[in-house]
Amino acid sequence: MSTKAFDKIAEGLAEATAIARGEAEHAKLFVPAEMDVRAIRTGLGMSQDGFATMFGFTVHQIRQWEQGRSRPLGAVRAFLLLIQTHPSEIMGMLREVSRDARKVA
């Protein structure tokens, strides 16, 4: 094993140990690979149209995700995770930036 490989392994082990001890935060954001968009939407009591309009999706996207024809990718999953965990805060921020954008336009 090369010194470079050993150093990387040792660095990773030190980081894992620090995280396990609570001395460091995880370096990567965990976003689930699968998101139940229907459960998120219905948990908020929103229609597909309302959910799409509120959060900047298209109704077509919502239908595709909910029917399993496609799935949200990348940053969209992170956004959905935020919507799921902090819906009122996300809605408030989106309303605020929308108002600000209209003032500038």
Across 46-53, average pLDDT: 97
The tokens for 62 are: 């919502």
So what's the pLDDT on residue 21?
A: 83
Q: What percent of the chain has pLDDT over 90?
A: 58
pLDDT at 52 over 60: yes
User: Of 63, 44, 64, nearest to 54 (Cα)?
Assistant: 44
Across 18-42, average pLDDT: 84
Q: Write the burial class of residue 66 (CB in 10 Å: 0-12 exposed, 13-18 middle, 19+ buried).
A: middle
User: Are 87 and 95 within 8 A, CB to CB?
Assistant: no
DSSP-derived letter for residue 1 is -
Verdict on whether the full-model pTM lies above 0.85: no
Across 78-98, average pLDDT: 94
Across 38-66, average pLDDT: 97
CATH number of 37-104: 1.10.260.40
* Secondary structure class of 56 (helix, strand, coil): coil
Average predicted confidence (pLDDT) for the chain: 89
How many C-beta neighbours within 10 Å does residue 78 have? 15
User: Of 58, 79, 81, nearest to 70 (Cα)?
Assistant: 58
